[in-house]
Amino acid sequence: MSLQKVLFHNKSGQKLVGRLELPANQLPHNYVLFAHCFTCNKNLLAIKNISKSLSSSGFGVLRFDFTGLGESEGDFADTNFSGNVEDLIAAAEYLRNTHKAPTLLIGHSLGGAAVLLAASEIISIKAIATIAAPSNPVHVKRLLKSNIEEINLNGKALVNIGGRDFTIKKQFLEDLEKRTLLHIVKELRKPILIMHSPQDQTVAIKNAEEIYMAAHHPKSFVSLDGADHLLSDKKDSTYAGKVISGWAQRYLEIPQDKNINSAHQVVASLDADEGFLTSMKVGNHYMIADEPEEFGGNDFGPSPYEMVSAGLSACTAMTIQMYVKRKGWDLKNVEVHTSYSKSHAEDCLDCESPGAKIDTFHRELRLTGNIDEKQTQRILEIANKCPVHKTLHSETQVITKIIDKS
């Protein structure tokens, strides 16, 4: 997993702060925008767990603080629900300009209502998932019911939500009254996944039913049975992330593993726009190779020389274990540590000349078991008899020819 801090600006020019979570071993196949719940922020544990589940499945996930919350600029008291929708549009524009336009929107609680409204404004969106979303933004007024009279009378009130104080102005409530949701859901022609807990004490399960009934197919509902509104239990948020990931892949374009066929043992395939990221078929197994970042790669996979070192390490370990088993020795485990470099030959005459350095593999063994000194020395000798070791020391040839051109 790679986590990056990102900055972009809202419609009013205020700086919004987010975290872009990227998969550890590949370029993202799709980008996701995540909208957090009312008065929450991007670092809510449930949001982080869901984002991690998605990034581990190859998604890039942008979660950010709405205006006036978390690290983002602005005064929350001066914001409204419409501003949240505008922030989502600004975040989508940021992704489009710096990476790729988002294709999946996820919203939690009031953030779920926001993504349903934003989906019609962000043309790149192909699928939407909501978690514990109200069917009408005005539902938030129920959380403020003890302060509604003061807000209407004085134009604002200090309210306590989740143990934190927030100033809510009358304009926030008036904006909620203007934003109807269900008729917009009826107009959406995009796949939607609705997730809700029957035990949700903050936003009742009835809201999920109303959204589901208003939406067009393809639409799906998944019960988060036993979860609370904030998905406080890690297993609930992790489950939600895995379900969203699996569901979304039915509606998004996910690059398939390249079908590489050959009579040879190993095939490497590299497209012109992939940099150094090389798809490989090794025997019956698929893997990737790359170069470290300092050499212009993304470090998504081992480098070619690391692959060679890996072959030497694996062959050494196999050869040693085959030998000691035949001898009946008590070697429980062998670790083979190998690295590659260009080093000076021990007997170089002119060590400063360019040709004085030779290809060198440094190999170290860690033996676990009841092995005496004589056995240890024999194991060291056997390591040098590993077939790959012999190949590296022998005269080799590489015969290259063109088998196809198109």
Note the pLDDT tens digit of each residue in 205-236. Answer: 999 999 999 999 999 999 999 999 999 999 99
Cα–Cα distance for residue pair 359/405, rounded to 1 Å: 33
Mean pLDDT of the residues in the chain: 89
Among the listed residues 148, 151, 118, 114, the one whose alpha carbon sits nearest the alpha carbon of residue 134: 114
Judge if 275 and 196 occupy the same domain: no
Cα–Cα distance for residue pair 389/384, rounded to 1 Å: 6
> What is the reported pLDDT for 364?
95
Q: Of 179 and 123, which is predicted with more confidence?
A: 123
Among 183, 214, 248, the domain boundary falls at 248
Judge if 279 and 233 occupy the same domain: no
Lowest mean pLDDT, pick from 108-117, 254-263, 292-301: 254-263
pLDDT digits (tens, 9 = 90+) for 288-323: 899 998 989 988 889 999 999 999 999 999 999 999
Judge if 311 and 383 occupy the same domain: yes
286 within some domain: yes
383: CATH: 3.30.300.20
Range 133-161 average pLDDT: 78
Cα–Cα distance for residue pair 259/53, rounded to 1 Å: 26
Q: What percent of the chain has pLDDT over 90?
A: 64
Rounded to 5, what percent of the chain is helix, strand, coil?
35, 25, 40
Tell me the pairing of strands 15-22 and 2-9. Answer: antiparallel
pLDDT digits (tens, 9 = 90+) for 77-90: 888 889 999 999 99
Q: How confident is the model at residue 349 (pLDDT cuts 50, 70, 90)?
A: very low
Range 329-356 average pLDDT: 73
**Res. 257: pLDDT tops 80:** no
> What is the reported pLDDT for 54?
95
Number of domains making up the chain: 2
Before 387, cis peptide (omega within 30)?
Answer: no
Ranges 133-142, 164-173, 298-307, most confident: 298-307
Residues 6+ apart with CB under 8 A from 394: none
Residue 220 lies in domain: 2-248
> What is the reported pLDDT for 355?
59
Judge if 81 and 135 occupy the same domain: yes
Judge if 272 and 220 occupy the same domain: no
Judge if 309 and 203 occupy the same domain: no
User: What is the maximum span of the chain, computed from C-alpha positions, in angstroms?
Assistant: 93
**Res. 199: pLDDT tops 80:** yes
261 within some domain: no
197 within some domain: yes
> What is the reported pLDDT for 152?
81
Tell me the pTM: 0.73
Judge if 225 and 289 occupy the same domain: no
**DSSP result, 124-147:** T--EEEEES--SSGGGHHHHTTTT
Q: How confident is the model at residue 353 (pLDDT cuts 50, 70, 90)?
A: low
404 within some domain: no
Among 221, 248, 275, the domain boundary falls at 248
Judge if 270 and 241 occupy the same domain: no
259 within some domain: no
End-to-end CA distance of the chain: 37
Task: Indicate left, alpha or beta for 117 from its phi (over 0: left) and psi (-120 to 50: alpha).
Answer: alpha
Cα–Cα distance for residue pair 41/397, rounded to 1 Å: 60
Residues in the chain: 406
Cα–Cα distance for residue pair 32/75, rounded to 1 Å: 26
Cα–Cα distance for residue pair 12/87, rounded to 1 Å: 10
Judge if 51 and 162 occupy the same domain: yes
> What is the reported pLDDT for 80?
87
> What is the reported pLDDT for 350?
52
Are residues 78 and 68 in contact, defined by beta-carbon separation less than 8 angstroms?
yes
> What is the reported pLDDT for 344?
47
> What is the reported pLDDT for 351?
53
